[in-house]
Amino acid sequence: MSYLAQRAVLDTRTRVRALSGTAPGLATTAVLTGLAALLLLGWWERGTALPVSWLLPPVETLFLLPAGPVLGLLALRAVVDGRLRTVAAQHLMTIAARWAAVWAATTAVWLAVTAAELYGGFGALLGADNLVEVLGASEAVRGQVTVLWVALLVALFATRLGGWRETLGLLVLTGAALVSGAPAPQVAAHVHATATDPLVLVAAAVEVLALAAWIGALAAVPHLRTPSYQLQHHLTRFGELVVVAALLAGTAAVVAGMLRPATPTPVALALGQLVVVGIVAVVGHRHRRRTVEVVATRRGLLLAGLIAAEVAAMAAVVAIGFLLPVGS
């Protein structure tokens, strides 16, 4: 067989393998995205979400903390190596699956605590007859069950769904579960009435997702199992990810402040906040670009220094957008 004939056969086989791998990936991504859309639709119809910058979330929100590294790892996998299945990308999916297992275990504990509160204690819970009916009627329990099955899905299938499309599907589904599963704070009725404003709901969702992705990315970057010649590129992509998260978190917090029902932020102050948030993001980006080459060649304490700089930038954005006093 001639060289040209061999190349033609190899090219045909490659196209067949690519098509056979693409079709299931597209179908899986469509299913994951559809599930995420259903979760977000239910969350939108409830309309009980409030921005984190308005008031501190309930203590129960701590049970959702393991979702942050899962979201950050999936986001970092989506921007690292793109459509290629590399060792670094697969390692990120493996760590994401482990964090998702922690998330599932934490959610199971949260579900048990909520069920015990509904029955007045664990003793009454063990001897209950209509357990399924009572728990099924609780909106909080239904939300926690939703979070639990999403966490289990990521824990069981993240390493098998390591393609670029499937990772995006898992990322969207994880974000939807994080937004829809967040417990609603107990506030006055007029505040909830204001929260039905679509802009308030969008600001609340963006704040949660941006902060979770930012914190999760910081937890994920030490897990980059990358050769030295690729680490600089991967850290650059990490920097782009956190810049977007910083801008989204700061902008959403400022917009939420302007929509606060009793004490909205004056327009002039809000514009100043946006400018400062942009300055912090630009300074962080320039610092990252100047130090990433040195970090890529030496790692170790320099990588810890890069993370510490990101924490400082995050603290600045939070102080500007979340803690700065609003007008009366």
Residue 124: which domain range? 26-323
pLDDT the model gives residue 313: 74
Residue 269 CB neighbours (<10 A): 17
pLDDT the model gives residue 51: 73
Provide the sign of the torsion angle of the four alpha carbons 271, 272, 277, 279, taken in this order.
positive
pLDDT the model gives residue 190: 45
In 3D, which of 198, 179, 211 has the Cα closest to residue 322?
211
Q: Domain for residue 246, yes or no?
A: yes
Q: Domain for residue 19, yes or no?
A: no
pLDDT the model gives residue 9: 39
Token pair 């393609």: residue = 163
Q: Domain for residue 160, yes or no?
A: yes
Q: Domain for residue 14, yes or no?
A: no
Total domain count for the chain? 1
- Provide block-wise average pLDDT over 10 residues at a time, the chain (328 residues): 42 38 76 89 78 72 87 87 72 90 92 77 62 68 87 90 83 91 62 63 86 84 71 78 85 82 79 83 74 63 67 73 52
Q: Domain for residue 4, yes or no?
A: no
Q: Domain for residue 16, yes or no?
A: no
In 3D, which of 136, 74, 81 has the Cα closest to residue 103?
74
pLDDT the model gives residue 302: 62
Q: Domain for residue 10, yes or no?
A: no
pLDDT the model gives residue 256: 82
Q: Domain for residue 103, yes or no?
A: yes
pLDDT the model gives residue 326: 45
The C-alpha atoms of residue 62 and residue 53 are separated, in whole angstroms, by 16
Burial of 80 (0-12, 13-18, 19+ CB in 10 A): buried
